[in-house]
Amino acid sequence: MKTALFLLLLFSVACNPPQDNGDSTNTGDGDTDGDADTEPLYTGPLQGLDVLVVIDNSSSMAQEQAILGNALFALVQTLRSGPAADLRLAFTTTDMGLQWGGNPIDPEDDGWPDNALPIGCENPLGNNGAFLTDYADAATTVGDLQRDCPASPDSLEQLFLSAEHWTGDDLALAASCMADPGIEGCGFEQQLIAAVKGLSGDGIATGFLRPEALLLVLVVSDEEDASLDDGPDLFATDEMVNMYERNIAVGHHPEYLYTPAEVKQMMLDAKAQVSGAIRAGGSVMFAAITGVPHEGEGATACQGSGTDVAACLDVALEEGTMGEPETITRIPASGGTIEAAYFEYACERRDGDVPITQAFPGTRFVALAQLFGDMGYVYSICNEDWRPAMNAIASRVEERLRTTSR
């Protein structure tokens, strides 16, 4: 009888292993459930490249979207000739409405200031990280030539671009056309959480993320990230006196935002859902074309890999530093009568007296790139030519693919 009871108990333990009690430790490599390291979904070499491009579609980004179109054409052409030839590209925008922590804003209950919402923020959830599938225009400019856009993802019943469905120059042309999502998006940009939503939502649902592929997240924006975890508390701060001073509130109260470390982990978690945590830890790259100095010593300290920009946040601006920019007062560009406080620009490019690009310090993008180390990259949005950035990104991608395929 004892022998039978022992065998029954042994069989029960073998068939019903101990359950996770929820106290498992996050190892920092994308494993949040504690068992992905023992049961990886994919352990082979990295093959192919998945690129998620997050584009600021607020009202100040027309010139930058045009530059991006040229840059992406060059990037795709370069990647197609190397180990990243098996290429996919998906596009989303920074427009997350005024949601916080995944909740749509209720201006009255959440304490938003009693004046107009920022331009383009009428949709409570914005684009919410959804992939773009159609072009805003029928043509794109590549170099000095205007070229017709090829078939859009929507017309081919696709949710992203791929080398499988766009051949020859068409893939590069399609990427150039997708770089222009328009400039009617929410002016309260939540760039990093838009990337996370894109990866964890359509990225998985559409099959865009592949277990074996290297993942590159590229963010292009002239504003600081404002990815809200706790909106009501931010809206209640003294700095949030009107919609024009929202960037001051964001800069002074990072405790109400998702931290760069949390964003990195969420990106790794999304990748881990298709590849397992072991592979995810070494298969996600992050790049930002954003507000950092593009001239002088600041350009050297703030452009390059996440390791290269280790001292960027200490770089001096006109008054403050990248990490702690000074507050200045300006009249809104719209010609309004409200005097508004803004942070000083991290960089500015002009054509004579006419400003072309004016970018606020992208401190959170720099901090995230630093966390990614050599898998991170930062470049100034105020540069007129983005081809050096595309070449650097392509080189890092190709080196990573070659290294892990040996």
List pLDDT tens digits, range 95-154: 999 999 999 988 778 888 766 677 788 898 999 999 999 999 999 999 889 999 999 999
CA–CA separation, 329 and 176 (whole Å): 37
Under DSSP, is residue 92 helix (H, G, I), strand (E, B) or coil? strand
Confidence of residue 332 (pLDDT cuts 50, 70, 90): low
Q: Hey, CA dihedral for 367, 324, 329, 243, is it positive or negative? A: positive
The reported pLDDT for the residue numbered 119 is: 79
- Give the tens place of pLDDT for each residue, 44-71: 889 999 999 999 999 999 999 999 999 9
Mean pLDDT of 28-55: 70
CB 379 within 8 A of CB 289: yes
Residue ranges covered by each domain of the chain: 46-404
Could you give the C-alpha distances from 6 to 14, 16, 17, 311, in angstroms and in order? Answer: 12, 15, 16, 63
pTM for the structure as a whole: 0.89
The reported pLDDT for the residue numbered 17 is: 37
Mean pLDDT of 199-204: 98
CB 51 within 8 A of CB 88: yes
CA–CA separation, 406 and 384 (whole Å): 37
Radius of gyration, alpha carbons of the chain: 23
Could you give the C-alpha distances from 275 to 81, 116, 162, 206, 215, in angstroms and in order? Answer: 25, 44, 19, 15, 11
pLDDT of residue 333 exceeding 70, the answer is no
Q: Which residue has the tokens 């002239």?
A: 222
Quick one: tokens of 177?
A: 């056309």
Kindly report the average pLDDT of the chain as a whole number. 87
